[in-house]
Amino acid sequence: MIYLVRHGQTVFNAEGRLQGHVDSPLTELGRDQARQAGAALARLTEGGAGWRIISSPLGRAQDTAEAIRQALGAPAIETDDRLIELSWGEWDGRLRADLKAQHPEAFGETGWAFTAPIGESFEAARARLGGWLGALPPEPERRIIAVSHGVSGRILRGVYANLPRAETLAQAVPQDATFRLSGGAIERLDF
């Protein structure tokens, strides 16, 4: 089983900026969301004994994972670069509204641009996240709490459920919920 959590709200989220590999700190709401995630996961995992916490290396995910670690009393957070957010290349840190005005064709129906200059492609992100998923112990031995990001979390869920691209990108990316990936099914659990 995997509990997949998106980091709490950041300053860039609140400003409408693409973050990618650029980091920004959690807002007060984001810190509260991280604490709520920890409390919810402590209940869902019955205290967290035997569960691994694996996080993206970016600060916003690490800060969220730390709040979860504290709630579970877990000894450590593992970091895995494959859980990092999609890189938007030259667009990392830019305002989404400005980019849509300058490159309306790039955002298409889903609102996600995989054509950013020197950005990561959907296929590359899917392969990266599929590699992470494939390296985990098989179910039912899998007991993982993964802390990742909006687009990477969408793609990871898409890989897990073998969803087509459009359906993968249409999934919600809440910062106040976790997704339970178990037995081939995905279940959203709101905090």
Q: Report the C-alpha gap between 174 and 24 in whole angstroms.
A: 18
Write down the catalytic residue from 21, 85, 105, 120.
85
Residue 103: active-site member: no
Q: Report the C-alpha gap between 31 and 9 in whole angstroms.
A: 8
Residue 81's closest CA among 58, 103, 47?
58
Contact 79, 56 (CB under 8 A): yes
Contact 53, 77 (CB under 8 A): yes
Write down the catalytic residue from 7, 120, 123, 187.
7
Residue 120: active-site member: no
Tell me the catalytic residues: 7, 85
